[in-house]
């Protein structure tokens, strides 16, 4: 007999129903616990609007006035001209006392006074001598004025300067945008080889590697000349390097280590022009021809005059038509004579060193204007100073030549290389 499908034995339903009920119970418990936790978390607070920021205070405004110290004027007098009350001017000076030597104040020094707008009292005062020296007086929280010297960062860089000469070295440097004071340093270094009063010609060229001293990044002054080269139609090429030997002695030498220093300088003046040569001439005061036993350099009154070499002072005083005169005695029987001085800076019997100042250019005695008459004697006979051949001093010793070459190599490369563009 065939069985129908619905006649098949049925599986028991009770276990299934119990299992389903258990699952539903667990789910209900889980949902209930979750909902309980959700109910436990408080709702986020309502955002609170930020309080408006107070308005920024208006910026402080200051008014500043400046002045330059006049000739024969004290700092206190200059402050009075800047409308400081006497008591406040005294307080400024007192704040600088012990910091600034008022005896060294000089014409052209700058004074600056700052005040809060609408106030008469000083807020800040500055006293400046060039870029490197500045003194500050500021008002403290208690209202008192306190002084200090502003620290200045001094640094040194090495630069190369090149100039083509069209008139004089001084004017050519100025025309090239360089500090013409470099002409004085060049004349100092090359004084044994180049006479800048008679050897300079248009078309000559000069190169210098020199230290530039900076104050807070601004040019303050030149330092040492490290290398110098002069290429001239009269002089040829003269090139010198500054070298400090292992014993600590510093001097200038050429490429081969020969010393630049000679017994005599080419000229007793750093910078001037030749106005009269050695030999016969018509005397400008006496009006007749006579031997001119030296050479004349035209220069302004007060120009310093160098001793051309080491020696001692034989005469320092009035000497007839030569006016105020210095006569120096040197080795090997040489004497040098310096006439028409406005002032004498040495005393008879005292030793002098090469490049020491012995006097200052003037127009004393028989002179039509300020100039220096310079003469050289040997054995009682006058010599032409422009034709003197004085040997150089000792070269670099052989045991130091390797050190010398190593030290001047970067200077030579800097001298010969292209000019750096700043």
Residue 30 within any structural domain of the chain: no
pLDDT digits (tens, 9 = 90+) for 11-61: 445 454 444 555 544 444 444 444 444 455 566 667 666 667 777 777 778
Percent of the chain beyond pLDDT 70?
82
Residue 16 within any structural domain of the chain: no
Which of 220, 253, 286 delimits the end of a domain?
Answer: 253
354 and 318 inside one domain = yes
CATH label of the domain that carries residue 228:
3.10.450.350
Q: 402 versus 56: which is more confidently predicted?
A: 402
φ/ψ bin of 254: left (φ > 0), alpha (ψ from -120 to 50), beta (otherwise): beta
CATH label of the domain that carries residue 311:
2.70.70.10
| Residue 38 confidence (pLDDT) | 45
| Residue 290 confidence (pLDDT) | 53
If 0-12 CB within 10 Å is exposed, 13-18 middle and 19+ buried, where does residue 234 land? exposed
142 and 160 inside one domain = no
| Residue 277 confidence (pLDDT) | 62
Look at residues 72, 76, 136, 79 and name the one whose alpha carbon lies nearest to residue 106.
Answer: 72
Residue bearing tokens 């205070």: 57
166 and 142 inside one domain = no
Look at residues 219, 215, 216, 237 and name the one whose alpha carbon lies nearest to residue 228.
Answer: 237
In the chain, the number of structural domains is: 3
Beta bridge partners of 218: 215
Q: Output the DSSP codes for 57-70.
A: PPPP-EEEEEEEPP
Q: 229 versus 14: which is more confidently predicted?
A: 229
Which one-letter DSSP state was computed for residue 50? P
Cα dihedral across residues 355, 361, 365, 367: positive or negative: positive
Q: 90 near 105, Cβ under 8 Å? A: no
Residue 334 within any structural domain of the chain: yes
Predicted confidence band at 411 (pLDDT cuts at 50, 70, 90)?
very high
Which of 88, 117, 149 delimits the end of a domain?
Answer: 149
Q: What average pLDDT does the structure give for the chain?
A: 82
Greatest Cα pair distance in the chain: 178
141 and 239 inside one domain = no
Residue 4 within any structural domain of the chain: no
| Residue 9 confidence (pLDDT) | 47
Residue 395 within any structural domain of the chain: no
pLDDT digits (tens, 9 = 90+) for 299-327: 899 999 999 989 999 999 999 889 999 99
> Could you give the CA distance from residue 286 to residue 278 in angstroms, rounded to a whole number?
17
Q: Output the DSSP codes for 328-397.
A: EE-GGGEEEEEEEEEEE---TT-EE-TT-EEEEEB--SS-SSSEEEEEEEETTEEE-GGG----B-----
pLDDT digits (tens, 9 = 90+) for 317-360: 999 889 999 999 998 789 999 999 999 999 999 999 988 999 99
280 and 373 inside one domain = yes
Collapse the DSSP code of 170 into the 3-class scheme (helix H, G, I; strand E, B; otherwise coil) and give the result.
helix
289 and 233 inside one domain = no
Residue 260 within any structural domain of the chain: no
Residue 49 within any structural domain of the chain: no
Domain hosting residue 126, numbered range: 62-149
125 and 177 inside one domain = no
Predicted confidence band at 241 (pLDDT cuts at 50, 70, 90)?
very high
| Residue 40 confidence (pLDDT) | 52
118 and 176 inside one domain = no
Predicted confidence band at 292 (pLDDT cuts at 50, 70, 90)?
low
Q: 150 versus 391: which is more confidently predicted?
A: 150
pLDDT digits (tens, 9 = 90+) for 150-194: 888 889 999 999 999 887 788 888 888 888 888 888 888 887 888
Q: Global pTM?
A: 0.59
Go through the chain and tell me how many residues it has: 422
């Amino acid at each position: 007999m065939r069985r129908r499908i619905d006649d098949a034995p049925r599986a028991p339903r009770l276990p299934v129903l119990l299992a389903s009920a258990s699952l539903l119970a667990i789910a209900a418990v889980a949902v209930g616990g979750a909902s309980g936790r959700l109910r436990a978390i408080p709702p986020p607070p309502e955002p609170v609007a930020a309080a408006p920021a107070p308005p920024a205070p208006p910026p402080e405004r200051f008014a500043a006035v400046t002045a330059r110290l006049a000739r024969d004027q004290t700092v206190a007098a200059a402050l009075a001209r800047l409308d400081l009350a006497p008591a406040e001017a005294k307080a400024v000076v007192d704040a600088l006392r012990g910091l600034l030597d008022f005896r060294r104040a000089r014409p052209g020094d700058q004074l600056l006074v700052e005040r809060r707008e609408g106030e008469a009292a000083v807020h800040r005062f500055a006293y400046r001598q060039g870029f490197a020296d500045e003194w500050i007086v500021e008002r403290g929280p208690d209202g008192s004025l306190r002084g200090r010297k502003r620290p200045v960062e001094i640094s040194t860089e090495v630069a190369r300067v090149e100039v083509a000469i069209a008139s004089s070295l001084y004017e050519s440097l100025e025309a090239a945008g360089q500090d013409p004071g470099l002409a004085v340093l060049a004349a100092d270094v090359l004084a044994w080889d180049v006479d800048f009063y008679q050897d300079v010609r248009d078309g000559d060229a000069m190169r210098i590697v020199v230290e530039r001293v900076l104050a807070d990044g601004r040019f303050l002054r030149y330092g040492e000349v490290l290398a110098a080269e002069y290429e001239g139609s009269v002089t040829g090429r003269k090139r010198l390097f500054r070298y400090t030997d292992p014993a600590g002695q510093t001097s200038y030498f050429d490429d081969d280590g020969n010393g630049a220093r000679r017994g005599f300088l080419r000229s007793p003046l750093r910078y001037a022009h030749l106005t009269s040569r050695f030999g016969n001439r018509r005397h400008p005061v006496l009006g007749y021809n006579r031997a001119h036993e030296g050479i004349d350099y035209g220069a302004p009154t007060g120009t310093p005059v160098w001793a051309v070499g080491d020696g001692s002072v034989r005469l320092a005083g009035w000497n007839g038509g030569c006016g105020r005169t210095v006569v120096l005695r040197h080795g090997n029987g040489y004497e040098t004579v310096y006439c028409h001085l406005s002032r004498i800076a040495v005393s008879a019997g005292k030793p002098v060193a090469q490049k020491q100042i012995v006097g200052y250019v003037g127009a004393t005695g028989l002179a039509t204007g300020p100039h220096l008459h310079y003469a050289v004697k040997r054995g009682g006979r006058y010599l032409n100073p422009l034709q003197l051949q004085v040997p150089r001093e000792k070269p670099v010793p052989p045991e130091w030549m390797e050190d010398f070459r190593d030290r001047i190599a970067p200077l030579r490369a800097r001298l010969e290389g292209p000019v750096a563009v700043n």
